[in-house]
Amino acid sequence: METKRLYRSRQSRMICGVCGGIAEYFNVDPTLIRLGLVLLACTGTGILAYFIAAIIIPDQPQA
């Protein structure tokens, strides 16, 4: 059985693909994740969390 892994998206990428990858992992619309990030960015923690995630989460492997 293949386990589900979190990757940065190659298809629904706007900046680094973090929001698209999280949306694909949880099977939700990427716009919802991006709106949540904007709300977190207003507090300042969202921007830091995004760039940390962009460093930590690997790119989606080529198909």
Residue 45 lies in a domain: yes
- The pLDDT, as a whole number, for residue 28 is 94
24: which residues sit within 8 A by CB, 6+ positions away? 7, 9, 12, 30
Calpha distance 6→53 (Å, rounded): 11
Residue 26 lies in a domain: yes
- The pLDDT, as a whole number, for residue 17 is 87
- The pLDDT, as a whole number, for residue 47 is 87
Residue 50 lies in a domain: yes
Residue 27 lies in a domain: yes
Domain count, the chain: 1
- The pLDDT mean for the chain works out to 88
pLDDT at 45 over 90: no
- The pLDDT, as a whole number, for residue 31 is 93
Residue 47 lies in a domain: yes
* pTM of structure: 0.82
* Average pLDDT score over residue span 38-43: 89
Q: How many helices (H) and strands (E) does the chain have?
A: 3, 0
- The pLDDT, as a whole number, for residue 9 is 86
Calpha distance 24→51 (Å, rounded): 18
Calpha distance 58→9 (Å, rounded): 9
Residue 38 lies in a domain: yes
Residue 37 lies in a domain: yes
Residue 36 lies in a domain: yes
Which residues constitute the domain of residue 50? 18-56
